[in-house]
């Protein structure tokens, strides 16, 4: 199995993607990775890897990069020799089995649609994020692929998210909720209200609206929202975590008691933090396109990138794209959308 | 000064609103409070208060309640004898100087518009929430008053939020940002992009887009978004806080080391948590209407309600509504909106 890795995407490229590729190859002995990017920069980063890893790492040279500030669809159309576009082309031509990138989220979603194409019946792809919450994992979808949605998009996110949780988190009949500004039927806007009707009429295990506080409380296996809302939420959570960390750090620096306390609490803190380490959850899958595409957070370091690569490999091994294609086709036949 | 308190609103009514009224009267010796609600339920809750507090508490009997599931504007029009509508009527007739409620957010926003009326030049009122963030307070606005917004609404939230932070948090030339799904100009949807243009053309201290993670990091004094997004964000933050608390509690129960650690860390934890105690921040002001209206979280207990009442009293003492009216009139004259 060959996975194309956008070695130039993200804040710590190409160093961290290259380290991540080495870690992933160590973990999965049958995995090969094509590092797509500036070969002069990549070569010194991988040449010291042990032989049985190095032999599974190839370099595909490109001399353009899509930046965070580039317009998603324009950059995909114009930067033909960028690491991201070349990686997608490798998946389209079946040279690679999937692609992983920590680059521009919009460009990854746009590239997935423009270069790989949508699965028949799917209007817009969805970018999901698996969040570790109370007593379960919740797939929040969309988190930035489709900024604003039509009701049909939200229904299809619910369908794809449900399939993803069934197949890849082994959840029997995943529960689905739609994010709104309250639990009551009167909440939401016109789009959310229409989407509620569509999802209720489907055969999904739909349980109504979820509020913001319900996500961390693990109210359901899948929570659906538009990409704007999902993006703001996961970034807000990230910012809150950093704020808390920095506040406690300041306490340790200026006071002695918390230092002693930390000594005793460290194992408990490690256990709790380990439970909520979002980096372990294999990146964010782009669902609804003809290929295995996984987006990693732009600030990711090697470990998170390695988890995303192995997550993509699992998705490919279990024929993830085919399973979604079949289920969506069945749903369309049954008149579920 | 007389403030009308909706004694029947919120999850713990009428007990907690009544306790909150007693606390607020103890704190502000010139404050009187009209408890609006079921007099039979309210009487036993306040009769034991010390004489100089009891003498400043009056009861206005009503026999209807607007619930969380009621449609906002319908309930304001139909439930004429509800505690919320009667409270608003007292402000409209100048019998009371302001109103505080922990009831249905949408109904409070609708009642403020329908019964008190908008300040001339204001299209939609905004519900703000003052959040304790890194090294400052940030006013997030709107958090549920106007679910979806036009660009002009977002501009006016920016104007009113800026005035609020200037007058009530003593911030010189408050910085304003617009919430989006990324920092780059290309982010956001059509509404956000048009609002950006309007705010840039105003004389506000506008600094561009804020991402979700920037809110806890204290990037600016005012962060503007639509009411759907703001509502989801503050509730998500609330849920995350509860999740962390419950996780650490479990650790203390099942292990000894964290118990010892907690003993040493308790002062530091209290300091950090005290800094982020959202209940201290005086409730959420409804800005842009002809009256002082403060919404308190539905789950609030007496302390939070007391803080909201004293916050409303401060707003009234400083002629908050007149100051916003003047500044908006000046802005309209200068062609800022």
Give the pLDDT confidence score for residue A336 in this predicted structure.
46
Nearest to A239 among B106, B213, B227 (CB): B213
Q: CA of A182: how far to CAs of A137, B75, B213, in Å?
A: 22, 17, 23
CB A68 to CB B182 under 8 A? yes
For residue A122, the distance in angstroms to the closest alpha carbon of chain B comes to: 22
Mutation for testing the A interface, residue in B181, B194, B227 having most A CBs under 10 Å:
B181
- Measured between beta carbons, the chain B residues lying within 8 angstroms of A210 are none
Mutation for testing the B interface, residue in A74, A192, A229, A265 having most B CBs under 10 Å:
A265
Task: Pick the most confident of A68-77, A327-336, B147-156.
Answer: B147-156
Instruction: Give the CB-side neighbour count of residue B267, counting CA atoms within 13 A.
Output: 10
Residue ranges for chain B with pLDDT beneath 70: 273-282, 331-337
Give the pLDDT confidence score for residue A251 in this predicted structure.
74
Helix (H), strand (E) at residue A133: strand A126-133
Which residues contact residue B259 at a Cβ distance below 8 angstroms, ignoring those fewer than 6 apart? B252
- Measured between beta carbons, the chain A residues lying within 8 angstroms of B227 are 181
Mean pLDDT of A131-149: 88
d(CA B281, CA B260) in angstroms, rounded, equals 32
CB B232 to CB A234 under 8 A? no
CB B232 to CB A233 under 8 A? yes
Mutation for testing the A interface, residue in B212, B253, B266, B299 having most A CBs under 10 Å:
B212
Task: Pick the most confident of A1-10, A64-73, B274-283.
Answer: A1-10
| A34-52 pLDDT tens trace | 999 999 999 999 998 999 9
Is the pLDDT at A14 greater than 80? The verdict is yes
Confidence of residue A280 (pLDDT cuts 50, 70, 90): low
Nearest to B235 among A211, A247, A248 (CB): A211
Q: B216 phi and psi, to 5 degrees?
A: -65, -30
Mean pLDDT of A176-186: 91
State yes or no: cis peptide before A283, omega within 30 of 0.
no
Instruction: Answer whether A216's CB lies under 8 Å from B236's CB.
Output: yes
d(CA A107, CA A50) in angstroms, rounded, equals 34
- Measured between beta carbons, the chain A residues lying within 8 angstroms of B72 are 186
State yes or no: cis peptide before A14, omega within 30 of 0.
yes
Beta strands in chain B (DSSP E): 2-6, 32-37, 57-61, 98-101, 126-133, 136-141, 175-179, 205-210, 222-224, 284-287, 292-295
Give the pLDDT confidence score for residue B270 in this predicted structure.
73
Q: Which residue of A has its CA nearest to B211?
A: A232
Mean pLDDT of A236-253: 82
Is the pLDDT at A209 greater than 80? The verdict is yes
d(CA B33, CA B93) in angstroms, rounded, equals 16
Nearest to B179 among A232, A251, A264 (CB): A232
Give the pLDDT confidence score for residue B15 in this predicted structure.
97
- Measured between beta carbons, the chain B residues lying within 8 angstroms of A234 are 212
Give the pLDDT confidence score for residue A291 in this predicted structure.
95
The residue that leads in pLDDT, A91 or A300, is: A91
Task: Specify the DSSP class assigned to residue B55.
Answer: T
CB B240 to CB A237 under 8 A? yes
Number of residues that make up chain A:
337
CB A272 to CB B251 under 8 A? yes
Instruction: Answer whether B85's CB lies under 8 Å from B73's CB.
Output: no
| Strand order across the beta sheet in which A292-295 lies | A57-61, A32-37, A2-6, A98-101, A292-295, A284-287, A126-133, A136-141, A222-224, A175-179, A205-210
Burial class (CB in 10 A: 0-12, 13-18, 19+), A240: buried
Which residue's entry shows tokens 């911030």? B171
**Region of poorest pLDDT, from A181-185, A269-273, B305-309:** A269-273
Q: What ipTM was reported for this prediction?
A: 0.83
Residue A38 structure tokens:
């500036």
Give the pLDDT confidence score for residue B275 in this predicted structure.
67
- Single out the residue of A159, A149, A91, A88 nearest to residue A121, CA to CA: A159
- For residue A317, the tally of other CB atoms under 10 A from its CB is 13
| B245-292 pLDDT tens trace | 887 777 777 777 777 777 777 777 777 766 666 666 668 899 999 999
Nearest to B238 among A147, A213, A275 (CB): A213
Which residues contact residue B136 at a Cβ distance below 8 angstroms, ignoring those fewer than 6 apart? B218, B221
Mutation for testing the B interface, residue in A232, A246, A295 having most B CBs under 10 Å:
A232
Residue B291: left (phi > 0), alpha (psi -120 to 50), or beta? Answer: left
Mean pLDDT of A73-100: 97
């Amino acid at each position: 199995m060959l996975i194309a890795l956008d070695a130039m995407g993200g804040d710590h490229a190409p160093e961290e993607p290259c380290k991540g590729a080495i870690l992933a190859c160590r973990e999965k002995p049958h995995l090969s990775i094509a590092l797509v990017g500036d070969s002069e920069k990549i070569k010194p980063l991988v040449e010291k890897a042990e032989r049985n890893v190095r032999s599974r790492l190839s370099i595909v040279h490109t001399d353009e990069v899509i930046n965070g500030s580039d317009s998603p669809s324009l950059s995909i159309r114009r930067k033909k020799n960028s690491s991201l576009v070349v990686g997608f082309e490798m998946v389209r031509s079946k040279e690679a089995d999937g692609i992983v990138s920590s680059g521009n989220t919009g460009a990854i979603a746009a590239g997935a649609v423009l270069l790989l194409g949508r699965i028949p019946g799917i209007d817009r792809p969805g970018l999901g994020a698996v969040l570790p919450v109370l007593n379960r994992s919740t797939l929040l979808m969309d988190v930035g692929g489709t900024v604003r949605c039509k009701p049909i998009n939200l229904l299809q996110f619910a369908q794809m998210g449900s399939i993803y949780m069934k197949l890849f988190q082994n959840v029997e009949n995943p529960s689905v909720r739609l994010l709104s500004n309250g639990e009551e039927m009167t909440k939401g806007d016109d789009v959310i209200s229409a989407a509620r009707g569509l999802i209720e009429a489907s055969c999904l295990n739909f349980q109504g609206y979820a509020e913001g506080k319900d996500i961390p409380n693990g109210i359901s296996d899948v929570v659906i929202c538009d990409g704007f809302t999902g993006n703001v939420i996961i970034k807000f959570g990230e910012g809150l975590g950093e704020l808390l960390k920095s506040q406690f750090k300041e306490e340790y620096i200026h006071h002695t008691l918390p230092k002693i306390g930390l000594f005793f609490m460290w194992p408990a803190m490690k256990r709790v933090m380990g439970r909520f380490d979002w980096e372990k959850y294999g990146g964010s899958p782009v669902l609804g396109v003809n290929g295995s595409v996984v987006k990693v957070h732009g600030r990711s370091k090697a470990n998170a990138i390695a988890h995303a690569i192995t997550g993509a490999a699992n998705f490919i091994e279990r024929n993830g794209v085919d399973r979604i294609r079949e289920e969506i086709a069945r749903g369309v036949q049954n008149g579920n959308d």
